[in-house]
Amino acid sequence: SSILSNVLPAPEDPVLSVIFACRDDPCPVKLNVSAGAYRTEEGKPLVLEVVRKAEQQLANDLSCDKGYLPIDGLADFNKLSAKLTLGDDSHAVEENRVVTIQCLSAITGFLSVHLRAPGYAKWSGGREAAHVNTPRPVPNPTWGNHPFIFTLAGLCVEYFRYYDPQTRGLDFEGMLEDLGAAPSGAIVVLQSCAHNPTGIDPTLEQWEKIRQIVRSKGLLPFFDNAYQVRCTTTFAFGNLDSDAQSVRMFVADGGECLIAQSFAKNMGLYGERIGALTIVCTSQDVARKVHSQVLLVVRPMYLSPPIHGASIVTTILKNSDMYKDWTIELKGMADRIISMRQQLYEAIQARGTPGDWTHIIKQIGMFSFTGLNEKQVRWMAKEYHIYMTYDGRISIASLSSKTVPQLADAIHAAVT
């Protein structure tokens, strides 16, 4: 007899099903623009030169061992990661009211808070039941894993308005209204920059209004900082500080704030699973208590985080020459993404495709939220062997001059 034969198949996961469909497609010219990972002009994954250099340095350093890291990770990594997000002169850091722990990329930052709701409730003064049932507002739409993580943890998720399909821009009034209606004490998930999937961020003035409403309603902001890589023409790329402005506004007001930070995209360390969770508290005493709870969450989950990615990041952030080399490589990646946006836009224009496609060059970050609907997306997969997520999001970072015409042909055919 088999116990496992009673296992029911999981419901179809829309993201995984795109990946599997592409993998199983035998067409030699299939194109996968679904994944949020940078590719070179030749369509290859990129390992940054500075990362190779850091790895060589680590390999030659005989004092580096492979022992367990402390439960909260590499101390220098935590310090430098917090500095990258909060800035060199953060009062919160100076006042010792910041807790940072190394995580398995950005995602564990969320897991560590949410999978253990009782732990979180202890942090928030024992209001356990209230917090388990309190909605966690997330933007509509948002990165697919946000609601997934919270739902899996048995927590309640609510969407606040974010994207307006009419204007293909931010539904700012709707967002403020929904945040204003959220129950006090709820965690609100915000993406610090280069919003996935829409590529639309609030302006600094809008961030200020969001900050005011979050604070006046007593909400707890939880920033997902997965793309601290400014990919616009309006900012000098490689200036990581400009990407962190939204977070820093919230930290500057002295209030509480959580930040899940990832080095997947900005150092190309996707598979190293390296990131950090930073929790800004109102006092050193609160920080100490929060830190003790976070350790309790980590211990049964993975006991101790992996060492390699943390060592790479620390080596780069510690060394001013390497740091500079990193920002130069970042600029190279961003310039290529910006050029792909422009090329795709021009290719669509050249085909006389109906509709306004300026959003492709106005949006920022790795993605373009094209406005294509699920029917069109499925049709393009079937007829053109091009794979994107069903919400019409494409990864601009995976395009090249060679594949842009193929995508533009498919888009043209899908909408005419």
Minimum CB distance to ligand PLP smaller for 220 or for 226? 226
Beta strands in 20-76 (DSSP E): 31-32
DSSP codes joined into one string, 276-318? EEEEE-SSHHHHHHHHHHHHHHHHHHTSS--SHHHHHHHHHHH
Residue 269's nearest CA partner among 228, 230, 240, 310 is: 310
Residue 73's nearest CA partner among 385, 296, 232, 303 is: 303
Q: Which helix (H) or strand (E) holds 170?
A: strand 169-170
Identify the sign of the CA torsion 100, 103, 108, 114: negative
* Main-chain dihedrals φ then ψ at residue 165, nearest 5 degrees: -65, -25
Longest dimension (CA), the chain: 64
Spatial neighbors of 234 by CB under 8 A, at least 6 apart, are none
CA distance 254 to 92: 7
Burial class (CB in 10 A: 0-12, 13-18, 19+), 278: buried
Minimum CB distance to ligand PLP smaller for 186 or for 226? 226
Q: At closest approach, how far in Å is the CB of 321 from ligand PLP?
A: 26
Minimum CB distance to ligand PLP smaller for 198 or for 406? 198
Three-state SS for 158? strand
Residue 55's nearest CA partner among 43, 47, 67 is: 47
Separation of CA 56 from chain center: 28
Residue 313's nearest CA partner among 261, 269, 247, 271 is: 269
Catalytic residues: 143, 224, 265
Q: At closest approach, how far in Å is the CB of 160 from ligand PLP?
A: 16
Binding residues for ligand PLP, rule: CB under 6 A, are 36, 105-107, 143, 191, 196, 224, 226, 262, 264, 270, 275
Minimum CB distance to ligand PLP smaller for 119 or for 268? 268
Are residues 203 and 172 in contact, defined by beta-carbon separation less than 8 angstroms?
A: no
Minimum CB distance to ligand PLP smaller for 345 or for 367? 367
Minimum CB distance to ligand PLP smaller for 220 or for 287? 220
Minimum CB distance to ligand PLP smaller for 201 or for 224? 224
Identify the sign of the CA torsion 367, 372, 375, 380: negative
